[in-house]
């Protein structure tokens, strides 16, 4: 059959509710053959829900899905796969105990015709082929548990590609990826585009959208808020469509200044996970950034400081007093809070209520005379969730029912409601929309203005230069440079971090 | 206009609340009510206060042990050794009672034995890093064997009569063992919901890594859950012994299965983090009512096992299909 380039996929009046929450309201969407189409919107706007309807994870309540003009029903993910729809979900879905090759072909393994036995050799061979085609250097026999977050995403992508999808859905695919990995992804996408594969691309990083997308559909509160041609629209217009208001300044200013007192000091400190010793001083009222490309050792440093990984050398001092921190509990007792990098694995109790998640690390605040007060706990959770603009604002709801970005807000809230004065935040704004990010920066500012010392690990250089008073740049586990004042610019960080 | 929005919001919240309740304990309550109705219809004797009190007596031991099991399951582990632990604790209590003649001392010795079994289970699981299924399966054999070796396979009988009050006595018309079970229930409810210990154990089962990073002393609490289960099995063992005025080395055989069934029926998840003692109470009651009702109706004991198995399966499925 010969096809002229036209509409590959059309969605008409899609509605979807979860309990009392109307996640999608009469949503329209159109995908032209061979385009990369951005799907934008605030946290909870309904982006992931739309994707999951297309892959049969969720059933829509009403509406029409047309593929090449034909009305279709997508029963389940297997059915979606057969219809040529592949997806990379926001939350990783790889199985840790299996190898890269096994994960890639999960559900459609090459099997022998006798007893359907798995052909291990062919599996590995074909996986290698795929990985090579995309220039990815990961051995197919590696267990997925050994991979970093960015590498896992790449494997997810290869997995989605292995079914030869002609519609590919990418939900925040660059989360946790290094710059090099992102470049790899984009070149894969270019390649697919030339093969007439059509893609939906979800991201909160609008610079990426301007780089790879042709058009953008914006959702707001589950409703359509415009379709734009990327070549003809500016950032401001897109942001206004997403938020329903203009964003004044991305990085709000501070009213306070860093003080003299050192609240956290590392001297030639090294933990099990770290490649090299690190020294730094964090002052009261200071926002100190630690940046570097992914794999530069930021997270390992964070885990070491919080007592998650065992110390092997050097010293840590808290408020100018030597501190032996051998567990997160020790760290907390010394007044340290820690927002970890991976919300699903390290941060959240997905099946438990928001309330539980927010109050668990500082449970003492919810107690009266050693007994948990339901009311106090509810109030703390509600207040924190409100401050962070968690939507929907229902703290009795299991966290897993929240959108990805809203889950991230809960991870931050878990430590923000405490009374500690040292904060270690590892990629705190990951997955959070552009408007809510600004709110979180304000919160971080006000913590610092009130005398807390804040250590932010992030691989977003713009965020680092916008938020921090001072930035340390790491490379291969060591701090290689320090930037502050006039010198602290995104460009400068970029050159140093990449090894200039 | 503001008001309108607010009432709208409240409505959805209520609807969500109702759904939550249905998903939780309400479904089990409905099952229980249905069972009560069916058996009342089938047997005139079933729905009398005497029989209902009798049911509470019959379930008291299962309930106590199941409450201990709830803690273990909440942390994402399992304890298969509860039945054997009950037997060994019963024997310990009887031996000390015979030797000393002191009731309190005997009970303390018994409960310490239960705690000891729990500590060994816990340490091997947590610090030895062996799966609790394996550790407690081994303990199931070891504790049972110890009870048999210690007694030479024969029951220790003719225990002093006043020891029988706990297991077989009545306070007015209410069985003492039911009162003890009720006390344990209230205590466990309080610990699980109102103290950090319970909330921590629940968190550990829900996500161990996140629990550790939330500054919870994970290892200590994982061991604690096994100790609680050991002590509760011990209390169950003491009650069995008291009821018979005799310590049987074979007591509590198969108890673990009934207990695990009750906890899972109560809505707990074997992968941890989900479960309540109220659910466990209802799960235990459902099983207890089925047992009692079928006996009254005169269903053959072979057939009873099939019916019970099927009802448990159906109840679990019904709860899930929400
Ligand atoms: N399984 C679920 N149960 C209940 N509510 C849900 C469920 N999944 C999503 N929702 C709700 O639907 C709405 C849309 O969520 P969705 O995940 O689609 O947002 P999103 O646009 O992908 O946001 P993000 O940028 O944060 O990823 C949210 O209000 C969310 O709470
Ligand atoms: Mg999403």
Annotate A73-102 with DSSP letters as a single string.
---SHHHHHHTTEEEE-SS----TTSBHHH
b/e sequence B65-98, b meaning 16+ C-beta within 10 Å: bbbbbbbbbbbbbbbbbbbbbbbbbbbbbbbbbe
pLDDT of residue A139: 87
CA distance A254 to A257: 8
Mean pLDDT, residues B216-224: 97
Q: Inform me whether the pLDDT recorded for B8 exceeds 90.
A: no
**Pairing label, strands A287-291, A470-475:** parallel
Taking CA atoms, what residue in B is nearest to A355? B199
Q: Name the phi and psi angles at A337, rounded to 5.
A: -115, 155
In a domain, B24, yes or no: no
Taking CA atoms, what residue in B is nearest to A20? B12
In a domain, B21, yes or no: no
In a domain, B32, yes or no: no
- Specify the residue for token string 């009720």: B182
CA distance A426 to A405: 15
Question: Residue A1 class from Cβ within 10 Å (0-12 exposed, 13-18 middle, 19+ buried)?
Answer: exposed
pLDDT of residue B313: 83
**Which residue in A19, A329, A396 is closest to B215 by CB distance?**
A329
Beta-bridge mates of residue A199: A36, A168
**CATH of residue B315:** 1.10.3470
In a domain, B38, yes or no: no
Which residue among A53, A243, A385, A401 is best mutated to probe the pocket of ligand 1, counting the most ligand atoms within 8 A of its Cβ?
A401
Task: For A323-356, write each residue's pLDDT tens digit.
Answer: 999 999 999 999 999 999 989 999 999 999 999 9
**Which residue in B17, B196, B274 is closest to A363 by CB distance?**
B196
CB B220 within 8 A of CB A329: no
Contacts of B214 in chain A (CB under 8 A): 328, 360-361, 414
pLDDT of residue A112: 57
b/e sequence A373-403, b meaning 16+ C-beta within 10 Å: eeeebbebbbebbebbbbbbebbebbbebbb
pLDDT of residue A500: 57
Three-state DSSP class for A154?
A: helix
For chain A, list the domains and their CATH numbers: 7-243 (3.40.50.300), 262-497 (3.40.50.300)
Q: Which two tokens stand for residue B4?
A: 């309108």
Task: For A228-259, write each residue's pLDDT tens digit.
Answer: 999 999 999 999 999 998 888 889 988 888 99
Q: How far is the CA of A84 from the centre of ligand 1 (A)?
A: 25
How many DSSP H helices and E strands does chain A contain?
A: 16, 22
Contact B199 A19 (CB under 8 A): no
Mean pLDDT check: name the lowest of A473-482, B143-152, B169-178. Answer: A473-482
Percent of chain B scoring above 70 in pLDDT:
91
Nearest to A208 by CA among A434, A50, A46: A434
Which ligand is nearest the CA of A90, by number? 2
Contacts of B211 in chain A (CB under 8 A): 349, 360
For chain B, strand residue ranges (E) read 170-171, 174-175
Mean pLDDT, residues B191-220: 96
Percent of chain A scoring above 90 in pLDDT:
66
pLDDT of residue A127: 84
Contacts of A332 in chain B (CB under 8 A): 215
Q: Inform me whether the pLDDT recorded for A65 exceeds 90.
A: yes
CB A43 within 8 A of CB A403: yes
CA distance A120 to A126: 10
CB neighbour list of residue A194: distance below 8 Å, 6 or more residues apart = none
pLDDT of residue A129: 84
CA distance B52 to B180: 17
Taking CA atoms, what residue in A is nearest to B194? A372
CB A246 within 8 A of CB A259: no
Q: Is the dihedral of CA A368, A373, A377, A383 positive or negative?
A: negative
Q: Is B214 on the interface with A (CB under 8 A)?
A: yes
Task: For B109-154, write each residue's pLDDT tens digit.
Answer: 999 999 999 999 999 999 999 999 999 999 999 999 999 999 999 9
What is the number of structural domains in chain B? 1
Q: How far is the CA of A222 from the centre of ligand 2 (A)?
A: 12
**Which residue in B193, B210, B215 is closest to A332 by CB distance?**
B215
User: What is the number of the ligand 1 atom nearest to the C-alpha of A44?
Assistant: 19
Contact B196 A367 (CB under 8 A): yes
- List ligand 1's pocket residues with C-beta within 6 A: A 18, 21, 23, 41, 43-49, 90, 392, 401-406, 433
Q: Name the phi and psi angles at A23, rounded to 5.
A: -80, -35
Q: Whose CA is nearest to atom 22 of ligand 1?
A: A48
Task: For B152-163, write each residue's pLDDT tens digit.
Answer: 999 999 999 999
Contact B212 A363 (CB under 8 A): no
The Cβ of residue B307 has, within 10 Å, a number of other Cβ atoms equal to 14
Phi-psi region of A460 (alpha: psi -120 to 50; beta: other; left: phi over 0): beta
pTM of the model: 0.89
In a domain, B240, yes or no: yes
CA distance A7 to A69: 8
Task: For A174-224, write each residue's pLDDT tens digit.
Answer: 988 878 888 888 988 998 999 899 999 999 999 999 999 999 999 999 999
Taking CA atoms, what residue in A is nearest to B272? A351
b/e sequence A291-315, b meaning 16+ C-beta within 10 Å: bbbbbbbbbbbbbbbbbbbebeebe
Mean pLDDT, residues A119-139: 80
ipTM, 2 decimals?
A: 0.88
Segment (H or E) for B107 = helix B103-126
Q: Which two tokens stand for residue A263?
A: 């609240």
Mean pLDDT, residues A136-154: 84
Mean pLDDT check: name the lowest of A150-154, A465-469, B92-96. Answer: A150-154
Instruction: Give the gap in angstroms from C-alpha A343 to the nearest C-alpha of chain B.
Output: 9
**Which residue in B195, B196, B207 is closest to A348 by CB distance?**
B207
In a domain, B146, yes or no: yes
pLDDT of residue A426: 94
Q: Which two tokens stand for residue B55?
A: 């049911």
In a domain, B18, yes or no: no
CA dihedral B45, B51, B52, B57 (to 10 degrees): -160
Contacts of B74 in chain A (CB under 8 A): none
User: What is the number of the ligand 1 atom nearest to the C-alpha of A408?
Assistant: 26
Q: Inform me whether the pLDDT recorded for A116 exceeds 80.
A: no
Segment (H or E) for A24 = strand A21-32
Give A231's DSSP letter.
G
Residue A295's pLDDT band (cuts 50, 70, 90): confident
Contact A363 B20 (CB under 8 A): no
SS (H, E, C) B198-212: HHHHHHHHHCHHHHH
Contacts of B20 in chain A (CB under 8 A): 396
Contact A371 B203 (CB under 8 A): no
CA distance A456 to A435: 19
The Cβ of residue A277 has, within 10 Å, a number of other Cβ atoms equal to 17
In a domain, B6, yes or no: no
CB neighbour list of residue B186: distance below 8 Å, 6 or more residues apart = none
Task: For A387-397, write each residue's pLDDT tens digit.
Answer: 999 999 999 99
Instruction: State the residue range of the domain holding B246.
Output: 48-321
Count Cα atoms within 13 angstroms, Cβ side, for B292. Answer: 26
Contact B216 A397 (CB under 8 A): no
Question: Residue A499 class from Cβ within 10 Å (0-12 exposed, 13-18 middle, 19+ buried)?
Answer: exposed
């Amino acid at each position: 059959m010969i096809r002229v380039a036209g509409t590959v996929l059309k969605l008409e009046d899609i509605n979807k509710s979860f309990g009392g929450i109307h996640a999608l309201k009469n949503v329209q969407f159109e995908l032209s053959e061979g385009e990369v189409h951005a799907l934008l919107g605030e946290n909870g706007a309904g982006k992931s829900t739309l994707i999951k309807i297309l892959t049969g994870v969720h059933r829509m309540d009403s509406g029409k899905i047309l593929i090449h003009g034909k009305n279709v029903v997508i029963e389940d993910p297997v059915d979606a796969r057969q219809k040529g729809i592949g997806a990379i979900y926001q939350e990783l879905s790889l199985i840790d105990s299996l190898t890269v090759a096994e994960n890639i072909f999960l559900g459609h393994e090459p099997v022998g015709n006798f007893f359907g036995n798995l052909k291990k050799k062919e599996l590995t061979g074909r996986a290698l082929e795929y990985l090579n085609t995309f220039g990815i250097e990961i051995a197919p026999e590696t267990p997925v548990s050994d991979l970093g977050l960015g590498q896992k995403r790449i494997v997810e992508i290869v997995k989605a590609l292995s079914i030869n999808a002609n519609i590919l859905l990418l939900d925040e695919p660059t989360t946790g990826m290094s710059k090099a990995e992102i470049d790899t992804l984009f070149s894969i996408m270019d390649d697919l585009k030339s093969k007439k594969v059509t893609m939906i691309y979800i991201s909160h990083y609008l610079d990426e959208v301007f780089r790879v997308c042709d058009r953008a559909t914006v959702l707001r509160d589950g409703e359509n808020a415009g379709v734009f041609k990327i070549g003809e629209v500016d950032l401001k217009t897109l942001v206004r469509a997403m938020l329903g208001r203009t964003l004044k300044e991305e990085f709000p200013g501070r009213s306070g200044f860093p003080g003299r007192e050192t609240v956290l000091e590392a001297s030639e400190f090294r933990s099990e996970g770290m490649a090299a010793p690190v020294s730094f001083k964090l002052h009261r009222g200071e926002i100190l950034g630690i940046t570097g490309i992914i794999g530069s050792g930021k997270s390992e440093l964070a885990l070491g400081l919080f007592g998650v990984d065992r110390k092997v050398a050097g010293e840590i001092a808290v408020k100018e007093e030597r501190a032996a921190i051998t567990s997160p509990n020790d760290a907390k007792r010394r007044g340290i809070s820690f927002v970890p990098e991976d919300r699903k694995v390290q941060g959240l109790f997905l099946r438990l209520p928001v309330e539980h998640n927010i109050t668990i690390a500082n449970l003492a605040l919810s107690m009266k005379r050693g007994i948990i007060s339901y009311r106090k706990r509810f109030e703390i959770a509600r207040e924190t969730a409100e401050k962070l603009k968690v939507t929907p604002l229902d703290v009795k709801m299991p966290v897993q029912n929240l959108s990805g970005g809203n889950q991230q807000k809960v991870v931050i809230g878990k430590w923000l409601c405490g009374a500690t004065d040292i904060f270690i935040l590892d990629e705190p704004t990951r997955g959070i929309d552009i408007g809510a990010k600004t709110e979180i920066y304000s919160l971080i500012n006000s913590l610092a203005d009130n005398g807390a010392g804040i250590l932010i690990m992030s691989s977003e250089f713009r965020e680092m230069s916008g938020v921090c008073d001072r930035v340390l740049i790491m490379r291969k586990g060591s701090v290689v440079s320090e930037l502050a004042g006039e010198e602290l610019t995104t460009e400068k960080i970029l050159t140093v971090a990449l090894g200039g | 206009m503001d008001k309108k929005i607010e009432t709208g919001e409240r409505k959805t919240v209520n609807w969500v609340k109702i759904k939550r309740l249905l998903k939780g304990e309400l479904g089990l309550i409905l099952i229980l009510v249905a069972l009560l109705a069916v058996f009342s219809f089938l047997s005139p004797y079933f729905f009398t206060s005497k029989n209902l009190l009798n049911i509470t007596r019959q379930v008291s031991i299962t309930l106590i042990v199941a409450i201990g099991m709830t803690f273990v399951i909440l942390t994402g582990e399992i304890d298969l050794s509860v039945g054997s632990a009950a037997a060994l604790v019963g024997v310990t209590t009887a031996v000390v009672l015979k030797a000393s003649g002191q009731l309190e001392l005997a009970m303390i010795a018994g409960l310490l034995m239960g705690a000891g079994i729990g500590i060994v289970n816990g340490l091997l699981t947590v610090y030895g890093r062996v799966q609790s299924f394996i550790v407690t399966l081994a303990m199931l054999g070891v504790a049972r064997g110890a009870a048999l070796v210690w007694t030479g396979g024969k029951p220790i009988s003719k225990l002093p009569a006043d020891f029988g009050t706990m297991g077989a006595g009545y306070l007015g018309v209410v069985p003492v063992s039911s009162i003890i079970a009720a006390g344990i229930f209230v205590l466990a409810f309080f610990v699980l919901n109102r103290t950090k210990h319970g909330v921590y154990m629940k968190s550990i089962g829900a996500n161990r890594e996140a629990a550790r990073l939330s500054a919870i002393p994970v290892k200590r609490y994982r061991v604690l859950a096994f100790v609680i289960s050991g002590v509760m099995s011990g209390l169950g063992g003491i009650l069995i012994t008291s009821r018979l005025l005799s310590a049987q080395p074979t007591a509590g055989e198969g108890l673990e299965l009934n207990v695990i069934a009750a906890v899972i029926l109560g809505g707990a998840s074997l992968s941890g983090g989900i479960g309540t003692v109220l659910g466990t109470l209802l799960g235990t009651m459902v099983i207890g009512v089925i047992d009692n009702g079928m006996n009254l109706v005169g269903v053959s004991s072979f057939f009873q096992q099939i019916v019970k198995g099927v009802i448990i399966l159906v109840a679990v499925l019904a709860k899930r299909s929400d």
